[in-house]
Amino acid sequence: MAKRVLNVGLIGGGRGAFIVNPHQKAIHMDGTRRVVCGALHEDPGVAMEEAGKWPYPIKGYPSYDEMIADQAGKPAGQRVDYVVIVTPNFVHFDPALKCIKAGIPVFCEKPLTITAKQAEALEAAVGKRKVPFGIAHTYLGHWSSWAARWIIRSGKLGAVRWADAYYLQGWLATRLETVGQMQASWRTNPKMAGASCCGGDIGSHAYMQLRFVTGLEVTSVRGIVETFLKGRQLDDHFTTYCELSNGGRALVRASQICIGHKNDLGLEVNCERGSLVWRQEEAEGFIVRLPGEPDRQYWRGELKGKDSFLGDLPDWVGAEPTIPSGHLEAFHDAYRRLHKSFEEDVRLYNDGRPFACDGSRYANVHDGVMHMRFIEAAVKSSKAGARPVKLKLS
């Protein structure tokens, strides 16, 4: 029997908004989800206008409060199956908490909130209400992230000794926030972005890529959080030296002032018997380096045959790709993989069955708590002259 198409609601995403666009595409990519309603802007009039301009009919709401209240009152099957929050960081906590309390699953943009305390409150609410909650750490959705995770966690390369997780950009190399650029304006405002601009915006991605692929926690962090552009309120350069839960070490670093770097997110994991190199700008594959051997370049869609290194690679890792190798997947496909995985948990939730939401396919609310603690620890350490700050892990 054909599945009922899931109803998705949006909070944020009107008038010049950025990240709603890839979400919208990814939501529709499988044909099993569709956007049905939205509270798209903070101004009620603009919110309704923007809903009216949506490429196909959706129900507009003047505010997310009205949307959540109205949707929560509808019978199961007719209300939204999940809500996607694509507002600036300071408008994540309140709508997320209200959705959770109404029993509506949430897929929220990162960073989860503007303080670790808010993130912990969301985690507690999710634990109490037992509702699926995902976080849009986009790059975890690349097939190559899943495969890299399997390889490192399988122990094939031995224990992790040293990792370098980085995210370099150049778009804030001038003070875009002073010329009214919407995305720069709120990202550099501590009331709207949180304790860190660069760390929260993109350092959080580097941190999550490290955790997701290695399965290790950052237990202690020494941070140097810097602002290169005079007059800017928050950091634009974020460097941390981290201790890992297995005794290994890592750099987690990010910059928004490196002209020429676009979305240069990468991860290099050096282990006892080899290393793995991954870059999101070439996310079709990754490289494994073994001593005394030519580098092994693995491609999405080409792992079915396995080899002497991959050995017992499970079928699901090889089988997941949707199009043949060489026809490139990219950012939208990564988002699609996250929505598809979240959809599976939402369907189980709708049926009253246990759902995983365990962070193995997409980031969950605990991952959000951890990235908020990491950002705050880095900022705290930096203010104290890069003194090590321990992270609370549970």
Ligand X SMILES: NC(=O)c1ccc[n+]([C@@H]2O[C@H](COP(=O)([O-])OP(=O)(O)OC[C@H]3O[C@@H](n4cnc5c(N)ncnc54)[C@H](O)[C@@H]3O)[C@@H](O)[C@H]2O)c1
**Minimum CB distance to ligand X smaller for 243 or for 333:** 333
Question: Which strand (E) or helix (H) includes residue 190?
Answer: helix 190-193
Dist. CA 68–CA 41, nearest whole Å:
15
Q: How far is the CB of 215 from ligand X (least distance, A)?
A: 21
**Minimum CB distance to ligand X smaller for 114 or for 288:** 114
**Minimum CB distance to ligand X smaller for 184 or for 357:** 184
**Minimum CB distance to ligand X smaller for 188 or for 275:** 188
Ramachandran quadrant class, 232 (left: phi over 0; alpha: psi -120 to 50; beta: rest): beta
Dist. CA 25–CA 33, nearest whole Å:
10
Give the three-state DSSP class for 295.
coil
Within 10 angstroms of residue 309's Cβ, the number of other Cβ atoms is: 15
124 Cβ contact partners less than 8 Å away, ≥ 6 residues apart:
none
**Minimum CB distance to ligand X smaller for 16 or for 75:** 16
Q: How far is the CB of 88 from ligand X (least distance, A)?
A: 5
Give the three-state DSSP class for 223.
strand
Q: How far is the CB of 236 from ligand X (least distance, A)?
A: 15
CB-side exposure of 270: number of CA atoms within 13 Å? 10
Residue nearest to ligand X (CB): 12
Q: How far is the CB of 180 from ligand X (least distance, A)?
A: 12
Q: How far is the CB of 125 from ligand X (least distance, A)?
A: 19
Question: Which strand (E) or helix (H) includes residue 349?
Answer: helix 331-350
**Adjacency order of strands within the sheet including 249-255:** 296-299, 285-289, 275-279, 264-271, 160-168, 249-255, 237-244, 218-226, 389-390
Chain contacts with ligand X (rule: CB under 6 A): 11-15, 17-19, 39-42, 64, 86-89, 91, 109-110, 136, 138, 182-183, 201
**Minimum CB distance to ligand X smaller for 14 or for 321:** 14
**Minimum CB distance to ligand X smaller for 113 or for 275:** 113
Dist. CA 56–CA 239, nearest whole Å:
44
**Minimum CB distance to ligand X smaller for 18 or for 304:** 18
Dist. CA 316–CA 102, nearest whole Å:
35
Do 203 and 375 touch, CB atoms closer than 8 A?
yes
Q: How far is the CB of 39 from ligand X (least distance, A)?
A: 5
Q: How far is the CB of 212 from ligand X (least distance, A)?
A: 14
Q: How far is the CB of 305 from ligand X (least distance, A)?
A: 33
